[in-house]
Structure 1
Amino acid sequence: MPVPHLSTALHGPILDLENRIYNTKPLIEHWLRSKWREYSVPFYCSVDLRNSGFKLAPVDTNLFPGGFNNLNPEFIALCVQAVMTAVEKICPDAHSVLLIPENHTRNTFYLQNIASIRTIMQHAGLYVRIGTLLPEIKTATIFNLPDGQSITLEPIIRKNNKLSVENFDPCAVLLNNDLSNGVPEILQNLDQTILPPLHAGWATRRKSEHFKAYNTIADEFARLIDIDPWLINPYFASCGKINFREKKGEDCVANSTNKILGVIREKYREYSVKEDPFVIVKADSGTYGMGIMTVKDGAEVYQLNRKQRNKMAVVKEGMSVTNVLVQEGVYTFENINQAVAEPVIYMIDHFVVGGFYRVHTSRGIDENLNAPGMHFVPLSFEPDCLLPNNTKQQGLMPNRYYAYGVVARLALLAAALELQQTIH
Structure 2
Amino acid sequence: MVPHLITALTGPINELEQRVLESMPAIERWFRLEWMEHTPPFYSSVDLRNAGFKLAPVDTNLFPGGFNNLTPEMLPLAVQAAMAAIEKICPEAKNLLLIPEQHFRNSFYQMNLATLVRIFTMAGLNVRLGTLDESIKEPTTIALPDASTLTLEPLVRQRSRLMLKDFDPCTILLNNDLSAGTPDVLTHLHEQYLLPPLHAGWGVRRKSQHFRAYEEVAKKFAKLLGMDPWLIYPQSVAVDGLDFDTGQGLDALQAQVDAVLTKTRRKYKEYGIQEKPFVVVKPDSGSYGMGIMTVRDAKDLDDLGRRARNKMGALQDGRSVSQVLVQEGVATHERIHEAVAEPVVYMMDRYVVGGFYRVHAERAEDENLNAPGSSYVPLAFAHSSHLPAPGEKPGASAPNRFYMYGVIGRLAMLAASYELEATDPDAEDYA
Q: TM-score range by the shorter chain?
A: over 0.9
| Native 8 Å contact 2:73 2:382 kept in 1 | no
Aligned counterparts of 1:145 and 1:305: Cα–Cα separation in 2 = 42
Report the secondary structure of 2:317's partner residue: helix
SS of 1:115's equivalent in the other structure is: helix
Q: What secondary structure is seen at the aligned counterpart in 1 of 2:369?
A: coil
1:239 alignment partner in structure 2: 239
Q: Provide, for residues 89-130 of structure 1, a one-character-per-residue CA deviation record: whole Å limited to 9, x for no partner.
A: 111110111000000121111111111111100000000000
CA contact (8 A) 2:21 2:390 kept: no
Q: Distance in 2 between matches of 1:233 and 1:394?
A: 21
Q: Quick one: distance in 1 between partners of 2:400 and 2:180?
A: 40
Residue 278 (structure 1) aligned with residue 278 (structure 2): yes
- Report the counterpart of residue 219 of structure 1 in structure 2: 219
Q: Which amino acid aligns with 1:95?
A: K
1:144-176 deviation line (CA, Å, top 9, x unaligned): 111222110000000021111111010110000
Give the AA of the match of 2:232: I
State the alpha-carbon separation in 2 of the partners of residues 5 and 117 from structure 1: 28
1:399 alignment partner in structure 2: 400
- What's 1:151 paired with? 150
Give, as a single letter, the amino acid of the residue that structure 1 aligns with 2:392: K
**Would you say how many aligned residue pairs link Structure 1 and Structure 2?**
423
Matches within 5 A, 1:18-417: 18-191=17-190, 192-395=192-395, 396-417=397-418
> Counterpart of 2:202 in 1: which secondary structure?
coil
Tell me, in whole angstroms, the C-alpha distance in 2 between the residues paired with 1:203 and 1:114: 22
Partner-residue secondary structure (3-state), 2:286: coil
Mapped partners of 1:390, 1:223: distance in 2: 22
Query: How far apart, CA to CA, are the structure 1 residues paired with 2:100 and 2:92?
Result: 24
* CA distance in structure 2 between the partners assigned to 1:17 and 1:374 by the alignment: 29
* Cα deviation, residue 316, structure 1: 3.1
Deviation readout 1:31-88 (Å, 9 max, x if unpaired): 0000111011110000000000000000000000000001111111100000000001
Q: Which runs of 5+ in 1 are unaligned?
A: none
1:158 aligns to what SS in structure 2?
Answer: strand
Partner AA of 1:351 in structure 2: Y
Cα-to-partner distance string for 1:307-336 (whole Å, 9 max, x where unaligned): 111111112321111100000000100010
Letter in 2 for 1:259: A
Q: Could you list the per-position Cα deviations for residues 187-239 of structure 1 after superposition, in whole angstroms to 9, with x for gaps in the alignment?
A: 11111210000000001000000000001100000000101000000001110
Q: Could you tell me whether the CA contact under 8 Å between 1:180 and 1:316 is conserved in 2?
A: no
Q: Contact between 1:4 and 1:334, CA under 8 Å: does it hold in 2?
A: no
* Cα shift readout 1:226-257 (whole Å, capped 9, x = no counterpart): 01000000001110011112111111111101
How many Å apart are 1:392 and its aligned residue? 3.5
Residue 419 (structure 1) aligns with: 420
Sequence identity percentage: 54
- Amino acid aligned to 1:283: P
Q: Deviations over 1:323-351 (max 9, x none)?
A: 00000000100010000000000000000
Spell out, residue by residue over 1:325-378, the C-alpha distance to the aligned partner (whole angstroms, 9 max, x if none). Answer: 000000100010000000000000000000000000100000000000000001
1:382, CA displacement in angstroms? 2.7
2:2/2:380 contact within 8 Å kept: no
User: Could you state the TM-score of these two structures normalised by the residue count of structure 1?
Assistant: 0.98
Please state whether the residue corresponding to 2:393 is helix, strand or coil. Answer: coil
Q: What is the rounded CA distance, in whole Å, between the counterparts of 1:135 and 1:370 in structure 2?
A: 29
Which stretches in structure 2 are left out of the alignment for 5+ residues? 426-431
SS at match of 1:301: helix
Say if 1:286 and 1:316, in contact at 8 Å, map to a contact too.
no
- Give distance in 2, aligned partners of 1:370 and 1:399: 26
Change (3 A) 1:381 1:423: same
Deviation at 1:5, TM superposition (A): 2.4
After TM superposition, the runs of 4+ consecutive aligned structure 1 residues lying more than 4 A away are none
One-letter amino acid of the counterpart of residue 136, structure 2: I
- Deviation of residue 7 (structure 1)? 3.5
User: What SS is found at the alignment partner of 2:130?
Assistant: strand
Residues in 2 aligned to 1:332 and 1:381: alpha-carbon distance in whole angstroms: 20
* Aligned mates of 2:86, 2:129 — CA distance in 1: 18
Distance in 1 between residues matched to 2:249 and 2:178, nearest whole Å: 26
2:24 & 2:64 partners in 1: Cα distance?
A: 27
C-alpha RMSD of the superposition: 0.9
Q: SS of the counterpart of 2:218?
A: helix
Distance 1:131 1:303 in 2: 47
Q: 1:392 & 1:372 partners in 2: Cα distance? A: 38
Which whole-Å CA distance do the structure 2 matches of 1:290 and 1:62 have between them?
15
